[in-house]
């Protein structure tokens, strides 16, 4: 007869035991914009194979040639088809339309949404709340056959694109509903020197993470900085 003393619980998984993602192809939709371009540059510099996507293939190829590092350029559909992980870095205004048009190409893919729905007026930046709750949740609603996560919201495009900066001293908040997916995204963030991916909850919590960018913009304006985040005691 087996007793409770005979049954040993499996040891808890080390949260920092992350998968090897070095062989995965990363696509960046909106890769010709400042944020997408900076992420593409940093990931490629870390040894990742990167494809920049844009509505116009020629524009993507031009940006890729300017960045070098083996980065390729393609239209958004080809970028999505050829990539294992797809980072969504398009402007909020075109977010829904872009993803709706790529539903087939993104089926089965790990999608990382880093879009921040923001408005701007004379008082500065302020957070918008999409009907679905967040940009990431909108992506999940539009891409039912994709594995949607959220990450890379709080990174300075200026720092990402500066070749004189060797390390990006920041944490990346990673959200998603499946641990295997968030582990992959954390590992991808950790490929960039100085950066660390930290699990920050399920996708339903993405709104406050996206919204925090409005606060960081205020910090940056007051202190003439390029502020990021660090999570302490983790």
pLDDT digits (tens, 9 = 90+) for 116-170: 999 999 999 999 999 999 999 999 999 999 999 999 999 999 999 999 999 999 9
Return the structure tokens found at 159.
């720092």
> Which region holds residue 10: left if phi is over 0, alpha if psi is between -120 and 50, else beta?
beta
Mean per-residue pLDDT of the chain: 94
Read off the pLDDT of residues 79-125 as tens digits, 9 standing for 90 and up: 999 999 999 999 999 999 999 999 999 999 999 999 999 999 999 99
Q: Are 208 and 146 in contact (CB under 8 A)?
A: no
pLDDT for the residue numbered 7: 54
Please give the C-alpha separations between residue 3 and each of 10, 79, 190, in angstroms, as whole numbers: 16, 55, 43
The CA distance from 136 to 139, in Å, is 5
The number of helix segments (H) and strand segments (E) in the chain equals 9, 10
Could you tell me which residues come within 8 angstroms of residue 196 by beta carbon, excluding any fewer than 6 positions away? 170, 171, 172, 186, 189, 190
Note the pLDDT of residue 223: 97
pLDDT on residue 2: 54
Mean pLDDT of 217-227: 95
Could you report the per-residue pLDDT of 51-68, keeping only the tens digit for each? Answer: 999 999 999 999 999 999
Question: What is residue 102's predicted lDDT score, i.e. its pLDDT?
Answer: 97
Inter-CA distances, 153 with 17, 79, 89, Å: 23, 21, 9
> pLDDT tens, 10-40?
678 898 999 999 999 999 999 889 999 999 9
Which residues contact residue 173 at a Cβ distance below 8 angstroms, ignoring those fewer than 6 apart?
A: 150, 151, 153, 154, 198, 200, 209, 229, 231
Q: Residue 9 — pLDDT band, cuts 50, 70, 90? A: confident
What pLDDT is recorded for position 31?
87
CA distance 220 to 111: 29
d(Cα 92, Cα 39) in Å, to the nearest integer?
Answer: 17
169 vs 55: CA distance, rounded Å: 32
Residue 160's pLDDT is what?
96
Asked whether the predicted pLDDT for residue 4 surpasses 70, the reply is: no
Provide the pLDDT for residue 1: 54
Mean pLDDT of 179-202: 97
């Amino acid at each position: 007869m087996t007793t409770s003393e005979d049954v040993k619980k499996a040891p808890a998984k080390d949260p920092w035991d992350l998968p090897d993602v070095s062989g995965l192809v990363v696509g960046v939709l909106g890769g010709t914009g400042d944020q997408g371009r900076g992420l593409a540059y940093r990931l490629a510099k870390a040894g990742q194979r990167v494809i920049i996507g844009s509505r116009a293939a020629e524009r993507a190829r031009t940006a890729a040639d300017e960045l070098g590092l083996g980065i390729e350029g393609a239209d958004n559909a080809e970028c999505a088809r050829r990539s294992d992980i797809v980072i969504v870095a398009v402007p909020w205004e075109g977010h829904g339309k872009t993803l709706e048009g790529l539903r087939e190409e993104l089926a089965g893919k790990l999608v990382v949404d880093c879009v921040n729905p923001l408005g701007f007026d004379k008082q500065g930046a302020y957070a918008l709340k999409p009907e679905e709750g967040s940009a990431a949740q909108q992506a999940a609603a539009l891409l039912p056959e994709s594995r949607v996560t959220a990450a890379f919201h709080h990174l300075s495009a200026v720092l990402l694109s500066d070749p004189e900066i060797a390390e990006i001293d920041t944490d990346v908040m990673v959200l998603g509903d499946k641990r295997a997916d968030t582990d992959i995204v954390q590992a991808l963030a950790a490929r960039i020197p100085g950066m660390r991916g930290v699990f920050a909850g399920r996708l339903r919590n993405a709104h406050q993470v996206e919204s925090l960018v409005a606060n960081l913009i205020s910090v940056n304006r007051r202190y003439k900085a390029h502020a990021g985040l660090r999570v302490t005691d983790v």
